[in-house]
Each structure stands twice: as C-alpha cells, then as structure tokens.
A and B are shown apart, each in its own frame.
Chain A
Amino acid sequence: KQEVTQIPAALSVPEGENLVLNCSFTDSAIYNLQWFRQDPGKGLTSLLLIQSSQREQTSGRLNASLDKSSGRSTLYIAASQPGDSATYLCAAPGSSNTGKLIFGQGTTLQVKP
C-alpha cells in the first residue's frame, strides 16, 4: 500500500533563500508524481508532474526531481519570495491502477520579507 510522507511539516525562511521540500513514498512502482500548491482556504493548484521516465521537471523557479529507486522526490524553489508562502503537497499514485492519488500531509512554507 502506497504511503507518502512529507518532512518537515512547516518551514520558515527569509526572502531570497533557495529551499528544498522533501517527499518520500513507499511503493516505487509509480507512473508519476505530482506536486501541488495550496493557499489557505483554497483548492489545490498543480505545479509540476514528473513522469516515471523523467528525473526532473522545471517550471520557472521551481524544479522537481524524482528518484524512484530511493522513493524520494524533491521540490526546489529558487530565490524564494513572500508570494511563495503556501502549503505544498506531493501526491503519488495508489498501488492499484485506478487513477487514485495518495497525498502527503504537506509542508507549510512561510517566506519572510
């Protein structure tokens, strides 16, 4: 059964710092891994989707990596800004082929001006 873990639960950094958010999963036979952003009281916005055949995916200041062998994914945010403050969730496919996702608990990021 797939389990997804995100550590730390919360992170506070000064503006301008580069940072890494971590996501680990137990079942490495995944098709892809998705990173989402959630602002308080809002829905989830998809940031990046990494296919199992890829090692990295980039969008602007965001770079996500996937290492299936170690069961890990990271989201790298370059030159953080206060507007990056949000909760970041990663999600991996469940162990059955149903389209279901298993979500981590999220990392709440605060970028201080």
Chain B
Amino acid sequence: DVKVTQSSRYLVKRTGEKVFLECVQDMDHENMFWYRQDPGLGLRLIYFSYDVKMKEKGDIPEGYSVSREKKERFSLILESASTNQTSMYLCASSFMGSYEQYFGPGTRLTVT
C-alpha cells in the first residue's frame, strides 16, 4: 500500500515563527503536492514538485516556500507564520504522468 506520512497531526505556532511541515512518501512517486483546506474554500494547491529540486507554484504560493532535496520528502515552509495561515495542510503524491494522487493524514496548523 502507498503510504504518505506527515510530520505532525496538530501544530500550534506563534505569529512570526518559521514553520516546517514535512511529508514523506514510500512509493517512489515523482510528483508531490502541498494543499491547504479551509471551510468554504475547498482544497487549494500551494506548491507542487515533479522531481528532486524541481518545484512549481500552485494557486496560492504567497507566504510559502518548499524544498525537495530527496525524492521521497517534500517540505512546506512558512517563512513567517501569520494567523491567516491557520488551516489544514494536506500532502499528496503521484507517479509522473498519473493523476491518481495519494494523500497523507493532514496537519492541522494553528497560528496564534
């Protein structure tokens, strides 16, 4: 079975802190994605990566950056957390050329 894991289920950070969310997949997938999910807004793509060290902006990249140094790991970075980044963050992965995505359990981030 495909397994996508995220470093934390729940996280509470203060405004201005630098926050790292990590995602690891064990299926040798080329593509990895970071989404945020908010009530009434659905899932919105923040960034995605189709190879090591490669990244592309999604629909809402402002305030975020990403890092992919190894194929299995994709990190989302909030350089200076703000309260409007309080959200559920979901990571997903897929094979190159496939639209079938597999999701991690999510990280509920609260910024106070």
Write the residues of chain A forming the contact surface with B, with a CB cutoff of 8 angstroms.
Answer: 31-32, 34, 36, 41-46, 49, 89, 91, 93, 98-101, 103-106
Known: A44-B90, A105-B42, A106-B42. A99 touches B105 (CB 8 A): no
Contact with A along B83-103 (1 / 0, CB 8 A): 000001010101011111111
Q: CA separation between A24 and B47, bound complex, in Å?
A: 25
User: What is the total of A-B residue contacts with beta carbons within 8 Å?
Assistant: 54
B91 to nearest A CB, angstroms?
Answer: 8
Bound CA–CA A44/B37 (angstroms): 11
Chain B positions within 8 Å of A46 at CB level: 100-103
The one of A36, A43, A91, A104 in contact with B105, judged by C-beta atoms closer than 8 angstroms, is A43
Q: Which residue of A lies closest to B100 (CB)?
A: A49
Q: Which residues of B contact A (CB under 8 A)?
A: 4, 31, 33, 40, 42-43, 45, 48, 50, 56, 58, 88, 90, 92, 94, 96-106, 108
Q: Is the CB of B99 within 8 A of A93?
A: yes
Given contacts A99-B94, A99-B97, contact A43 B103 (CB under 8 A): yes
Minimum CB–CB distance from A105 to chain B (whole Å) comes to 5
20 contacts between A and B (CB under 8 A): A31-B99, A32-B99, A34-B99, A34-B101, A36-B103, A41-B88, A41-B106, A43-B4, A43-B104, A43-B106, A45-B103, A46-B100, A46-B103, A49-B100, A99-B31, A99-B50, A99-B94, A99-B101, A100-B45, A103-B42
Majority secondary structure, B binding face: strand
**Which of A31, A41, A44, A106 lies at the interface centre, i.e. has the most chain B CB atoms within 10 A of its CB?**
A44
B55 to chain A, nearest CB (A): 12
What is the predominant secondary structure among interface residues of chain A facing chain B? strand
Determine the chain A residues whose CB is within 8 A of the CB of B98 once the complex forms: 99
